[in-house]
Amino acid sequence: MTPEEERELDDLLLLLKETRGFDFTGYKRNTLVRRVARRLEALKLGSYGEYRDYLELHSAEYTQLFDSLLINVTSFFRDAAAWQRLRETVLPALLERKDPGQPIRVWSAGCATGEEAYTIAMVLAEELGADAFRERVKIYGTDLDERALHLARAGVYAERALGEVPPGLRETYFEPVENGFAFRRDLRRRLVFGRNDLTRDAPVSRVDLLLARNTLMYFTTETQLTVVRRFHFALADPGFLFLGKAEMLLGHGDRFEPVDLRTRLFRKVTPAGHGTRAAWPAVGGASDLAARLPALASVALASGPVAQIVLDPPGNLALADSRAEALFALGPRDVGRPFQDLEVSYRPVELRSVIEQARDELRTVELREVTWRRPGRREDSVFDISVVPLLASARLVGISIHFNDVTRYRRLRDELEEANLQLEQAYEELQSLNEELETTNEELQSTNEELKTTNEELQSTNEELETMNEELQSANHELQQINDALTARTVELDAANRFVSSVARSLGDAVVVLDGRLRVIVWSPGAEELWGVRAGEAVGENLAALGVGLPLDVLTPRLRAALTGSARPDGEAGGLVLDAVDRGGRPAALSVRLSRLRTENDDTHGLIMVMNVLGAGGG
């Protein structure tokens, strides 16, 4: 790609992030280029810039683009040998460490339309029994694609999709419905499906088994490192990870050890000393402490629990922690710019006057429950904002602005008000909120973990091939649907051809259908027999050019008159008898009847000529 194309693609990805909340910057570049090129080809567009303009004018195209980028290729019991190994090795080890009645938590990350989440549900139900499954098991399915999640929540699949499910399991766990087969309702309640961005959102916590099959392979190496670290944090001890056949976890031996490398089953590794109180390093003298303070202050700011921005006395941006950079799209280029020139100065709320108040009065000014509809989000976010003057020796050295996201607390309060009407739904939502809060608090403790070295080039190539394979599977499914439609059309066409042929045989010895320019459209078998000209030679040719033994000097004027309407067709007036010569050169008297081909508007666009041999005639 040229630098210009790289820039246009970056602008396109930024548009998707700002307007729809989908951040594809962590996905492999080659995959993105291929999938977007597919949309460009379908729309006959020449560049990413043209496609960006098209998206801004046609919002429905976003759906087509996301369907192309989010490849939802999955199936029940995909790689059956791997699932068998899971039953034989992982489940016994997992259940052995669990007390009877203790809950079992499973997370299917990148679940697409839900087939693998329902697969593990069937496996666990067979292992535990239906009653124990309902009491102990909770399965969470997450994905980025809301349309795929809608299908997963419904739990209804066509008969073709259940082809890999063993007949016994299909009869036990699926019930026939109007448009397919639905997963058993009593067990379906133990599965929860929701949207989760593996690169940005908090993971589901304390899970015993995590399925992420052919999900990591779409991410860049750096993003894979982040996601694997989140997986390690999400798993309980012991916890097991089940990956796809293209994913190896090379370079993550400190976090996962293989149970069966061939089937991509891994066990969480607990770091030495985990769970014990860490000893503080020995503190040096005052000079050592002074030398460490700038780095310590920088790390403390970057790791703060809320988004924070610091301004210098003239009102220029001096510092911003990582949360503020992500929230307000700030970067190194913004440091030193006047705060009033930045979008954050007036969105989500006008802050310039508040900063002036804090500077003049030298006291903290707080704004409560500021509502902001962030780009790409369906719901409002709510913030408590504190503007704090920073003083040193009674002298103002800067202004600190804190953005505390209280959206969850606001939502929790609203949900509690409706608890009496929707008790069961509110219980699920509150439970999810509590788990997310716990996960967020625990995640903050692990933010300083270092990323490891990149995967080997062979692993990256293998993932790329697997990605292309799934793309081909998706395209093959589309072609299969088109082929089915063409097959149905062919059957209909064959039936129509047989019907026309039957009509032609029934009308007379020889039937010829002509268009408005007297070219042959239909040449019946009787006409072949009478004149010795095959249908393949006659169709498309002008009647006069065939050289058959018809007296064209007499017949042609009658044909043209019938076409123009200046004379009645002979089929309506008793017919016409002509002296002709058959294929053997013998005289033959022909009865010729003409009928007009009419359109729905009663316009003539051709003629039907029916010829019957009456007997030998004179020359």
Give CATH 1.10.155.10 domain extents, the chain: 3-69
Distance CA 92, CA 339 (A): 59
Going by the DSSP 8-state scheme, the letter that residue 379 receives in this structure is S
pLDDT in tens, 462-490: 777 777 888 788 888 888 888 888 888 88
Distance CA 204, CA 235 (A): 9
CB 65 within 8 A of CB 143: no
Share of the chain above pLDDT 90, in %: 24
CB 262 within 8 A of CB 86: no
Q: How many CA atoms lie within 13 A of 381 on its CB side?
A: 16
Distance CA 210, CA 471 (A): 24
Q: How many CA atoms lie within 13 A of 363 on its CB side?
A: 3
Which residue(s) pair with 390 in the sheet? Answer: 398
Distance CA 616, CA 143 (A): 83
Distance CA 78, CA 123 (A): 13
Q: Which residue has the tokens 């108040």?
A: 357
Going by the DSSP 8-state scheme, the letter that residue 186 receives in this structure is H
pLDDT at 511 over 80: yes
Phi, psi of 249 (to 5 degrees): 60, 35
Distance CA 233, CA 227 (A): 10
pLDDT in tens, 197-211: 888 888 888 999 999
pLDDT at 389 over 70: yes
**In the structure, what pLDDT confidence band is assigned to residue 137 with cuts at 50, 70 and 90?**
very high
CB 470 within 8 A of CB 71: yes
Q: Determine how β-strand 317-320 pairs with β-strand 307-311.
A: antiparallel
Q: Which residue did the predictor score with more confidence, 172 or 298?
A: 172
pLDDT of res. 224: 87
Strands (E), 489-536: 510-515, 520-523
Closest CA to 206 of 276, 152, 138: 138
CB 588 within 8 A of CB 616: yes
pLDDT in tens, 79-92: 999 999 999 999 99
Please provide the size of the chain in residues.
619
pLDDT at 283 over 90: no
pLDDT at 286 over 60: no
Distance CA 125, CA 121 (A): 6
Distance CA 153, CA 156 (A): 9
In the CATH scheme, what is the homologous superfamily, with its name and number, of domain 80-271?
Answer: Vaccinia Virus protein VP39 (3.40.50.150)
Phi, psi of 350 (to 5 degrees): -65, 115
Q: How many CA atoms lie within 13 A of 19 on its CB side?
A: 12
pLDDT in tens, 420-454: 677 766 667 777 777 778 777 777 766 655 544 45
**In the structure, what pLDDT confidence band is assigned to residue 566 with cuts at 50, 70 and 90?**
low
DSSP per-residue string spanning 466-478: HHHHHHHHHHHHH
pLDDT of res. 451: 47
Q: What is the mean pLDDT of residues 569-596?
A: 77
Q: Which strands form 510-515's sheet, in the order they lie side by side?
A: 520-523, 510-515, 604-615, 587-598, 576-581
Distance CA 422, CA 415 (A): 9
Give CATH 3.30.450.20 domain extents, the chain: 304-405, 508-615
pLDDT of res. 285: 46
Determine which of 243-252, 445-454, 479-488, 540-549 has the lowest per-residue pLDDT on average. Answer: 445-454
Q: Determine how β-strand 265-268 pairs with β-strand 256-260.
A: antiparallel
- Token pair in block for residue 143: 């994905």
Pick the CATH number of 508-615 from 3.40.50.300, 3.30.450.20, 3.40.50.2300, 3.40.1190.10: 3.30.450.20
Q: Which fold has domain 304-405?
A: Beta-Lactamase (3.30.450)
Class assignment of domain 3-69?
mainly alpha
Determine which of 136-150, 160-174, 450-464 has the lowest per-residue pLDDT on average. Answer: 450-464
Q: What is the mean pLDDT of residues 65-86?
A: 86
pLDDT of res. 240: 95
pLDDT of res. 300: 59
The type of residue at 95 is L
Closest CA to 310 of 296, 297, 291: 297
Contacts of 595 (CB under 8 A, 6+ apart): 569, 571, 572, 607, 608, 610
What's the distance, Cα to Cα, between the start and end of the chain in Å?
80
pLDDT of res. 452: 47
